[in-house]
């Protein structure tokens, strides 16, 4: 068994194919961007969370790997994509020679990242949840016609800036700047309340607190 690196996973053409296929499938049903930009950013943020909280280097890399793979289940179906992605990831990581205990940790993280049925089950999963839910921004909207925006398009397009700030041993804060002419803050909560509550659970798992600030006002 070897220490599988994020670079190896990023270089795997099968992984790239699954990510790109999942992104195409979600585009076909009207979802926001879930491609290489999204998983690359989430991978960086997940690793950064644990690094700033002084977790072991290997745990930080496993968080980055889990985050990079977390949406490959969309290549099959959006429904239960977290669990499907975990199973797909298992075969990929076994092929790369990752030890079973590390595979299990990554699978648990991927299988628990969705707000519909997920829960933080290890440090990797907590970091993935926080990183994934913090990627809300107008760059993710693929609908070119503002007149035809649904509430998901409006909420994402209204976000001009998003940043997940880690204050070690104090709190993890998601800071958003929203154009309220496009989307009132209430609509953000209508769509993302379940995600924010899962972020709170994830922060508590990491023995810290979650804070949401929109336009410099603390809301959660």
Distance CA 105, CA 87 (A): 12
**Whether 39 contacts 70, CB under 8 Å:** yes
Distance CA 126, CA 176 (A): 20
- Widest Cα–Cα separation across the chain: 54
Q: 12 falls in which pLDDT band (50, 70, 90)?
A: very high
User: Would the pLDDT of 2 be above 80?
Assistant: no
pTM (2 decimals)? 0.95
Tell me the pLDDT tens digit for each residue of 128-157: 999 999 999 998 999 888 888 888 889 999
Span 171-196, mean pLDDT?
93
Tell me the pLDDT tens digit for each residue of 44-59: 999 999 999 999 999 9
- The arrangement of secondary structure in 6-218, i.e. its CATH architecture, is Orthogonal Bundle (1.10)
Instruction: Give which of 82, 77, 83, 90 is closest to 15, Cα–Cα.
Output: 90
| Structure confidence at residue 1 (pLDDT) | 64
Distance CA 127, CA 104 (A): 16
Span 155-175, mean pLDDT?
94
Q: Where are the domains of the chain?
A: 6-218
Instruction: Give which of 206, 198, 199, 175 is closest to 50, Cα–Cα.
Output: 206
C-alpha triplet 189, 203, 198: angle, nearest 5°: 40
Distance CA 18, CA 41 (A): 17
User: What stretches of the chain adopt beta strand conformation (E)?
Assistant: 159-167, 171-178, 210-214, 217-218
């Amino acid at each position: 068994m070897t220490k599988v690196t994020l670079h190896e996973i990023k270089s795997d053409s099968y992984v790239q194919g699954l990510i790109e296929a999942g992104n195409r499938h979600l585009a076909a049903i009207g979802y926001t961007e879930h491609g290489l930009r999204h998983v690359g950013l989430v991978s960086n943020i997940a690793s950064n969370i644990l690094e700033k909280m002084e977790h072991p280097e290997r745990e930080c890399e496993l968080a980055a790997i889990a985050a990079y793979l977390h949406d490959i289940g969309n290549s099959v179906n959006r429904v239960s994509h977290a669990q499907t992605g975990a199973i797909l990831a298992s075969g990929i990581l076994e092929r790369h020679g990752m030890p079973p205990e590390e595979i299990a940790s990554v699978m648990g993280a991927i299988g628990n990242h969705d707000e519909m049925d997920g829960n933080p089950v290890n440090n990797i999963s907590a970091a993935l949840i926080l990183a994934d839910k913090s990627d809300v921004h107008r760059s993710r909207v693929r609908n070119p016609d503002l007149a035809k925006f649904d509430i998901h398009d409006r909420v994402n397009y209204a976000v001009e800036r998003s940043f997940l700030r880690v204050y070690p041993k104090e709190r993890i804060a998601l800071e958003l700047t929203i154009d309220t002419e496009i989307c009132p803050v209430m609509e953000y909560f209508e769509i993302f309340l379940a995600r924010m509550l899962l972020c709170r659970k994830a922060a508590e798992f990491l023995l810290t607190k979650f804070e949401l600030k929109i336009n410099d006002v603390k809301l959660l």
